[in-house]
Amino acid sequence: MRQPAGRSARRSGGERKPREERWAELIEVATQVFYEKGYDGASLQDIADRLGMLKGSLYYYIQSKEDLLFDVISMVHKEGLEVVRSRASVESDPLQRLERVVAGHVEHTCRNLVAVAVFLHELSALPPERRQEVLGTEHAYQGVFRDLIEEAQREGLVRPDVEPRLAALSVLGSANWVYRWFRPGGAFTPEVIGAQLADMAVAGVATESALAARRAGIAALS
């Protein structure tokens, strides 16, 4: 079973459900409660009640509410990072990979609104050292975007006046904002939104020659 990120060991005790299933259920319920009430407004009693278990039984899995938030946020970050890294590793030029990464990030956000909202709203509730533990010393998630922009810049596909770190922050920030307005079943699907935002992100940093080549490629396919 996956070891919770928030502690090194669990206390022994009986469980009616298999441990892995119970742990997954705990994370899912905690995420929902943090979303509905906010970290400060939520209590371990709220989470225990939702699970139909005694509050004391939660300490078999965690030591504190902060530990539980850490585990929730770590899970969200890990899953999102896997999405963008897999998109970034596909063989193609860095501008195309940047487009795929932005689209993948947006689609993932649209399909995981509750978890992403908890991550973005409650990350600051963790102490600085625990936030850094989640994000990584080099801000690994942001780094995927920055590295692709830098690579594309070296290949002449991104304008030389673009500062990669600022561009990465801008692209990621605008993509993150989707969680505030996207509604499942609305006029636009995650795929449509991802494609549109990815296209706008690329257009905002690419050189004129790179954009012309993209337009030519699209025209040749149509």
- The CATH number of the domain holding residue 216 is 1.10.357.10
Is 3 domain-assigned?
A: no
Give the E-state strand segments of 42-133 in sequence order. none
Is 123 domain-assigned?
A: yes
Per residue in 156-195, pLDDT (tens digit) is 999 999 999 999 999 999 999 999 999 998 899 999 999 9
Whether 116 contacts 55, CB under 8 Å? no
Is 42 domain-assigned?
A: no
What span, in angstroms and rounded, lies between the C-alpha atoms of 93 and 51?
Answer: 48
Is 162 domain-assigned?
A: yes
Is 115 domain-assigned?
A: yes
Task: Say which amino acid occupies 84.
Answer: V
How confident is residue 69, by pLDDT bands cut at 50, 70 and 90?
Answer: very high
Is 143 domain-assigned?
A: yes
What span, in angstroms and rounded, lies between the C-alpha atoms of 37 and 41?
Answer: 5
Whether 31 contacts 50, CB under 8 Å? no
Is 40 domain-assigned?
A: no
Is 129 domain-assigned?
A: yes
> What are the residues facing 206 on neighbouring strands?
158
Q: Let me know the angle formed at the C-alpha of 101 by 99 and 106, rounded to the nearest 5 degrees.
A: 100
Mean pLDDT of the chain: 88
What span, in angstroms and rounded, lies between the C-alpha atoms of 172 and 184?
Answer: 21
Structural domains in the chain (count): 1
Containing domain of residue 171, as a range? Answer: 74-221
Structure tokens at 186: 């609305």
pLDDT of residue 214: 81
Whether 134 contacts 74, CB under 8 Å? yes
